[in-house]
Structure 1
Amino acid sequence: MESKQHDSNIIDIHPTVGVPEAGVTSRSLVTLLANVKRGGTRGWLAVLGSFLIHCFVFAPTEFIFGIFEHHYQIVFPGASASSIAFVGTTGSGITYLTGFLSGIVADRFGYRPTAFIGTVIMAVSLVLASFSTALWHLYACHGVLFGFGASFAYTPAIAVPSQYFSLNRGLVIGLAVSGTGMGGFVLAPMTQALIDKLGVFWTLRIIALLTFVICGLASLLIKEKKDNLLLQEQLATTTTAHQKEQTLSGSSTDYGDMTVCEKDPEQLIELKQEQAPWTRGKPSFFQSLHVLKDPQFMSLTLANVTVSIGYLVPLYYMQTYAVFIGLTPEQGALILGLANGSGFAGRVLLGLIADRVSNTKTLLFSAWATAFSVMVLWFLAKSFGTLLLMGITFNIFAGCYISLVPVAVAESFGTQTIASMIGLMYAVGGIAIWVGSPLAGFILDSTLPNLSYTPVIWTAGVSVLLAAMFVTSWAVFHWRAIRTPAACRLQAINTL
C-alpha cells in the first residue's frame, strides 16, 4: 500500500502522464495550476524574494551604471572614460567570478543567511563608494566589494526557485530573473532624478539604503527545501522523464531487474544516496568539484564562457552604433530602452513556452536565435527599424538563454547542490565577462581613424555562435542521459 501511495503522489505531481489527447488546452491549464499550487506559499515567496534581489544585484554595475559613469567623469575629470567604465565591468566580473564560493557557502550554510550577508556587503560598499576621493576608491568599493556582495545575494536567489517547482521551472525562473529588467526600468530614471537634486554621492547612499531594506527583506523569503524533500522531487522528475522516454521509444528503463516505475520509491532514494554519497548532507569544496567530470556540466560551462564574452557587447555599444549609422543619440537611447523592456517580457513569455514545449528545446532555440541576432541582424542593421529589431531579438532570446541555464542544471543534476554548480559555472563565465567588453573597445579603437564596427560585431557574433554549439552538445548529452538509468549514470560519473 505504501508503494502505491508513492506512485499516486508521483502521478499527482505530473498529471499529464497517460492523459488522452482530447482537451489539450484545458489539460495544460490544469497541469500549470497543479504545479503552481504544488510550489506552495513558501515557494512563491521564494520567487518573490529572488525577483526583488535581481532588481538590485546588477543595476549599479550594469543597467544604471551608465548614469553613474557620466557623473563620475565630472567628479574625477582627470580619469578617462574607459578607466571609469572598468569600475562597472569589475563589479560584474567579481559577481560571477566569486559565484563558486558563494554557491558553496549557500549550499553549506543556507540560502537565507548567505543572501543577507551579501545584502549587507552591497549596502556597505555603496556607502563607502559615496565617500570616494580617488578613482581607486571606486574600484575597491563600487567595483570589487559590491561585486562580492552581489555574488552572495545573487547565487542563492537564482538557485532557490528550482527547488520548489519541478515542471514549470522555465516560467518560475523567468519571473524571478525578470527582476533585472524591472530594476533597470525603475532605478534608472529614479537615479537620474536623485543625482539632479542631491548629487551622485548622496544618490549612492539612498540606493544603499534601498538595497539594504528591500534585499534584506527579500533574503528572508528565500529558504531552501529540506534534503529529503529534494530527493523525493528528483525521484519524481526522473520517473517522469523515463516514463516519457518509454512512451516515445516503446522501451523500458531498468534499475537492475525492475523498471523505474516498478521499484519502490523509498528504495530508489536509498539507491541514489548509495550511488552518490556526495548528495547526503552539505557538500565540501572538493565534492562540489566532482561535477566537472560530467560532460553535460562541461558543455554548459563552455557555453556560458563563450556567451559571456559577447553578451555585454551589444548592450554597451548599441547606442553608439546607432549614432554611427546616422541616428540621433535620443533614437539610440530609445532603441536600448525598448530592447531592455522587451527582455523583461520575453523571459516570462519564453518561460511559459519552455514549460509547454520543452526546456531543452527552448534553450537550444534561444541560443541559436541569439547567435542569429548578432551574426545576421546586427550586420543588416542600417536603420532605426532594423537596429530595433536586432536589439529586441537579442534581448528576448539572450535573456531567455540566461534564464534557462539554471533550469538545465536542475534537470541534469537535481537541485540539492544547484547553488554550487551554478556558482562554479558563473565563476568561469565571470572571467569572460571581464574580457569581452574591454576587448571589443580595444578592437573598435584599433579601427581609427576609419571607424568600423564590423570587427566588434564579428567578435560578439563568433562568441555567441560558439555558445550555441556548446548548448547543442549539452542537449545531445542530456537526451542521452535521460535514456540512461539515474543510478547507472551516477555510477559511471563516479568511475571517470
Structure 2
Amino acid sequence: MSAMMKKSLHTLPPDGGWGWMIVIGCFLVTVCTRAVTRCISIFFVEFQAYFGQDYSRTAWIHSIVDCATMLCAPLGSYVSNHVSCQVGIILGGVLASTGLVLSSFATSLEYLYLTLGVLTGLGFALCYSPAIAMVGKYFDKRKALAYGIAMSGSGIGTFILAPVVQLLIEQFSWRGALLILGGFVANLCVCGALMRPISLKEDFAHRSLKQEHNANEQNESISSSTKCSPLSQDCSHKSLCYCSQKEYSFLLKPNFIVLAVSFLFLAYGCSPPFVYLVPYSLSVGVSHQQAAFLMSILGVIDIVGNITFGWLTDRRFLKKHRYACYLIAVALDGLSCLFLPILTCFQLLVPFSVTFGYFDGAYVALIPVVTGDVVGTAHLSSALGVVFFLHAVPYLVSPPISGWLVDTTGNYTAAFLLSGFSMIFCAILLAFAKLIMKLDRKELTLTVPASDTKQEICTNGDLSHSATEEHNHKDV
C-alpha cells in the first residue's frame, strides 16, 4: 500500500502525460455542458409556438439551467473532494442525460422548468467544476495553455452543435432533438472515466493533517464514551467541522474575498452582450443573416482567445504577470461594450464581435488559473465551486435587468453601458486590491525583525503553516 502511495504521489504536477487526456476530457465536458446550455436557446421558438406562451416565460428555461449549473457548483466540488472526481462526473452525466430525455416528453413549461432546468442543470454542476479542477492538478508550467484548450470546448461546441441541433429539430421535431441530445450528453460518463486521480505533495500534506486530527478525535471519543457507534465516531460533529474548516479555509482570506466580489460584477457584465447583440443589430438595420454571422464571429474568436491568450500567458516573460493580464482582458472586454451603442452598421459591429469575443475567451481561460494562484492547488476544486456559485445570481438577473432598461429607455444604450462599467469596475477593484497588498507587504518586510523571518511560509496559493498552527490544530 505504501509503495502504491509513493508511486502515485507527485511533488509537482506532471505537466503532460495523462494530463493531456484530462485536458481532452475537460474539453468534452465543456462541450456537453456549456455548449449544450447555449444551444438550448435554439429550442425557444419551438417551445413558444408549441405551448403558446410569451417570450419571458419561455426564457426562464435557459435562466434556470444556467443558474442551477452555477448555483450547485459547490455540490460538484464536495462530491469530487469527498468521493471522487470520476464518480461526480459520471453521476452528473446520468442526471443531465436523464433530464434531457425526460424533457422530450414535456407537456408544459413548468415540466421543462424541472427537467430541462433543474435536473439537467444539477447534472452539469456535478461535472463542470470538478473537471476544470482536475486540469489544475496535472499542469503547472503550461497551466494557462491547458485551460485555454479545455475551456475552448464551449466555443467550438457551440459553433458545431448550433447548426446540428437546428437540423435535428427540422428532421425529428424538438422532442426528437432533445432525445438525441440526451444521448449525446451521456458521453459525460466517458469523460468522467478519463479523470484519473492524482495525489500531489500539497494534497498529501493536508490529508495527513486531517487523518491525524481524526485519529486523535476517535481516540478521545473512545476513551470518553463506549456507547457511540463506529459511524458516529468517524463522523463526529467536531471532526466534520474541522474538515470543513480546512476545506474552505480560503473563504476568509482577504485576497479571495476581493476576487469573489469581483466575480459578481464580472458575471453581471459579461452576460447581456451575448443575449442582446442580435436584437440590437436588428434594431439598427442589420439583416438576420448578418446578425447571426456576428454571433458566429464572436464564437470563433472566443476560441482563438481561449487558446492563444493561454499560450501567451504561459511564456516566461508573462507567466509572473498572469494576474495583470487577466485584469487587462476584463477591462478591455468592458471597454468594448461601452462603444457598442455608437456602432450602428454591420461593418462597425464586426470589430466589436472580434474584440469582445477575443478578450472574453482570454479572461475565461485565466479564471481557473488566477483562482488557483490565490487559493492553491489543494483548494482549487472547492474554490471553483464557490466561484461558479457566485456566477449564479448575476447570470439569472442580468438579462431581465437589461431587458427592463431597454423597455424603459427605448434603446440599448443603458443596458450596454451598465454591462461595460460593471466589467471595468471588476478590473479596477482587483487592481486596487493588488496594489494595497503590495504596499502592505513592503511595510511588513520593513517592520518585521530579521529573527521573525524564520517562520516557514508557503507562497503557493498564500498557504502558510507554522509549527504553532499545527500544534493548535492538534489541540482542536
* TM-score (structure 2 length as normaliser): 0.81
Pick aligned residue for 2:128 from 110, 130, 154: 154
Alignment partner, residue 319 of structure 1: 278
Q: Is the 8 A contact 2:248 2:379 kept in 1?
A: no
**1:360 lines up with 2:323 in the alignment:** yes
Deviations 1:92-144, CA, capped at 9 Å, x for gaps:
01111111121122112111110111111100000111111011011111111
Q: Is the 8 A contact 2:156 2:299 kept in 1?
A: no
One-letter code of the match for 1:374?
A: C
One-letter code of the match for 2:49?
A: I
Deviations 1:227-273, CA, capped at 9 Å, x for gaps:
43656xxxxxxxxxxxxxxxxxxxxxxxxxxxxxxxxxxxxx69x96
One-letter code of the match for 2:365?
A: S
Pick aligned residue for 2:76 from 102, 109, 114: 102
CA spacing shift, 1:93–1:480, aligned 2, 3 Å: farther
Pick aligned residue for 1:183 from 157, 160, 177: 157
Superposed, 1:450-489 pairs within 5 Å as: 451-473=410-432, 475-476=434-435, 485-486=457-458
Alignment partner, residue 134 of structure 1: 108
Cα offset, 1:208, TM superposition: 0.5
Alignment partner, residue 144 of structure 1: 118
Deviations 1:250-308, CA, capped at 9 Å, x for gaps:
xxxxxxxxxxxxxxxxxxx69x969x989xx9984443332121122112111111111
Pick aligned residue for 1:421 from 347, 362, 383: 383
Q: Distance in 2 between the 1:344 and 1:150 partners? A: 21
Q: Distance in 2 between the 1:69 and 1:57 partners? A: 18
Q: Is the 8 A contact 1:181 1:341 kept in 2?
A: yes
One-letter code of the match for 1:165?
A: F
Pick aligned residue for 1:374 from 323, 329, 337: 337
Q: Distance in 2 between the 1:383 and 1:491 partners? A: 58
Alignment partner, residue 435 of structure 1: 397
Greater Cα offset, 410-419 or 346-355? 410-419
**1:75 lines up with 2:75 in the alignment:** no
Q: Distance in 1 between the 2:437 and 2:144 partners? A: 17
Q: Distance in 2 between the 1:312 and 1:361 partners? A: 23
**1:45 lines up with 2:21 in the alignment:** yes
Alignment partner, residue 32 of structure 2: 56
Q: Distance in 1 between the 2:202 and 2:418 partners? A: 45
Superposed, 1:210-289 pairs within 5 Å as: 210-212=184-186, 214-228=187-201, 230=203, 284-289=243-248
**1:407 lines up with 2:380 in the alignment:** no
CA spacing shift, 1:40–1:313, aligned 2, 3 Å: same
Q: Is the 8 A contact 2:36 2:161 kept in 1?
A: no
Cα offset, 1:406, TM superposition: 0.8
One-letter code of the match for 1:378?
A: L
Q: Is the 8 A contact 1:57 1:150 kept in 2?
A: yes
Pick aligned residue for 2:257 from 295, 298, 312: 298
Cα offset, 1:445, TM superposition: 1.6
Superposed, 1:375-394 pairs within 5 Å as: 375=338, 377-394=339-356
Alignment partner, residue 226 of structure 2: none
Q: Distance in 2 between the 1:80 and 1:153 partners? A: 32
Q: Distance in 1 between the 2:143 and 2:269 partners? A: 26
Q: Distance in 1 between the 2:275 and 2:355 partners? A: 16
Q: Distance in 2 between the 1:452 and 1:204 partners? A: 35
Q: Distance in 2 between the 1:489 and 1:49 partners? A: 29
Q: Distance in 2 between the 1:355 and 1:273 partners? A: 33
Deviations 1:148-177, CA, capped at 9 Å, x for gaps:
110101011111111111111110000000
Q: Is the 8 A contact 1:104 1:285 kept in 2?
A: no
One-letter code of the match for 1:437?
A: P
CA spacing shift, 1:351–1:72, aligned 2, 3 Å: same
Greater Cα offset, 477-486 or 456-465? 477-486
Greater Cα offset, 197-206 or 287-296? 287-296
Q: Is the 8 A contact 2:26 2:150 kept in 1?
A: yes
Q: Is the 8 A contact 1:296 1:477 kept in 2?
A: no
Q: Is the 8 A contact 2:26 2:132 kept in 1?
A: yes
Q: Structure 2 unaligned runs (5+)?
A: 1-9, 215-238, 446-456
One-letter code of the match for 1:393?
A: T
Cα offset, 1:215, TM superposition: 1.5
CA spacing shift, 1:330–1:184, aligned 2, 3 Å: same
Cα offset, 1:39, TM superposition: 2.4
One-letter code of the match for 2:91?
A: I
Question: What SS class does the counterpart of residue 160 from structure 1 fall into?
Answer: helix
One-letter code of the match for 2:350?
A: L
Q: Is the 8 A contact 1:129 1:138 kept in 2?
A: yes
Deviations 1:27-74, CA, capped at 9 Å, x for gaps:
xxxxxxxx9xx423321111110000100102333x212211111112
One-letter code of the match for 2:50?
A: V
Q: Distance in 1 between the 2:111 and 2:24 partners? A: 34
Cα offset, 1:193, TM superposition: 0.6
Identity of aligned residues (%): 24
Question: What SS class does the counterpart of residue 201 from structure 1 fall into?
Answer: helix
Q: Is the 8 A contact 2:16 2:139 kept in 1?
A: no
Q: Is the 8 A contact 2:268 2:422 kept in 1?
A: yes
Cα offset, 1:424, TM superposition: 0.9
Q: Distance in 2 between the 1:413 and 1:159 partners? A: 12
Question: What SS class does the counterpart of residue 141 from structure 2 fall into?
Answer: coil
Q: Distance in 2 between the 1:284 and 1:184 partners? A: 39
One-letter code of the match for 1:461?
A: G
One-letter code of the match for 2:45?
A: H
**1:202 lines up with 2:184 in the alignment:** no
**1:121 lines up with 2:95 in the alignment:** yes
Cα offset, 1:443, TM superposition: 1.6
CA spacing shift, 1:207–1:480, aligned 2, 3 Å: farther
Deviations 1:372-410, CA, capped at 9 Å, x for gaps:
1112x3133122122121122112112221221110121
Paired positions, count: 414
